[in-house]
Structure 1
Amino acid sequence: MDFLPIKENKDFRRIYAKGKSFVAPVVVTYVLKNRSKNVRIGITTSKKIGNAVKRNRARRVIREAFRILAPDVKPGYDFILVARGKTPYVKSTEIVRVLSAQLKKAGVLK
């Protein structure tokens, strides 16, 4: 199953405001049901994470971790994954473990 990107600022604001959040030292996950059958994902990294190289690495490992979990995610949800300070320094397998626990808690895994 593929996932679509969230790009519009209004979508990010809506999910931040109305979504449920799940916090861990490496990633924060916001989950909100959408009206379509698609899984949409937005990844944010602030300048607190570090320079452009670190921010890009953080986005890459988060995207890879979500790609691994994507087949088990129920359709019809929007996700925002926010990188934290530790994110660029951990492997995607660690993020898979944390993300899987967060998604299980959110009740969006099949």
Structure 2
Amino acid sequence: MLYTKPLNNNWDFKRMYSRGKSQAHPLLVTYVMKNKLGYNRLGITASKKIGNAVKRNRARRIIKQAYFEAEKELGCGYDVVLVARGRTVGAKSTDVLPVFLSHAKKLGFLAQTR
């Protein structure tokens, strides 16, 4: 069974931005870094550049849904930070999912049992 905890601490996000591997796309930016835990930790950010609170929350919901749809295919023991971009608000989770999976493949945190 897969288990994902939230990534809440500001220093965790700063560490991810400075030392994590990243991939960018107009819909999404993905940061990944191994952790020494047996489970993944997920952080989602949407800055005020995205828009008002309604738009930021929509972007977070879209990203969260795409992550949980792809969770079965991901490896364990990673910290993942997903950053919303301006186009994320107008997209659907089905648009974000292939972008996230391609980032996961390039960054090497897809499960080996594919």
Which TM-score bucket, shorter chain as reference? over 0.9
- Counterpart code for 1:19: G
Q: Does 1:61 align with 2:69?
A: no
- Counterpart code for 2:90: Y
1:1-110 matches, within 5 Å, as 1-110=2-111
Q: Percent identity?
A: 49
Q: State the distance in 1 between where 2:41 and 2:72 align.
A: 13
Displacement over 2 Å in runs of 4+ = none
Shift of 1:2: 2.4
5+ residue gaps, structure 2: none
Alpha carbons 1:3, 1:39 under 8 Å: kept: yes
- Counterpart code for 2:102: A
Shift of 1:5: 0.4
Where is the helix percentage greater, Structure 1 or Structure 2? 1
Q: TM-score, normalized by length of structure 2?
A: 0.95
- Counterpart code for 1:109: L
Alpha carbons 1:2, 1:70 under 8 Å: kept: no
Q: State the distance in 2 between where 1:85 and 1:2 align.
A: 29
Q: Secondary structure at the match of 1:109?
A: coil
Instruction: Work out the number of aligned pairs and report it.
Output: 110
Q: TM-score, normalized by length of structure 1?
A: 0.98
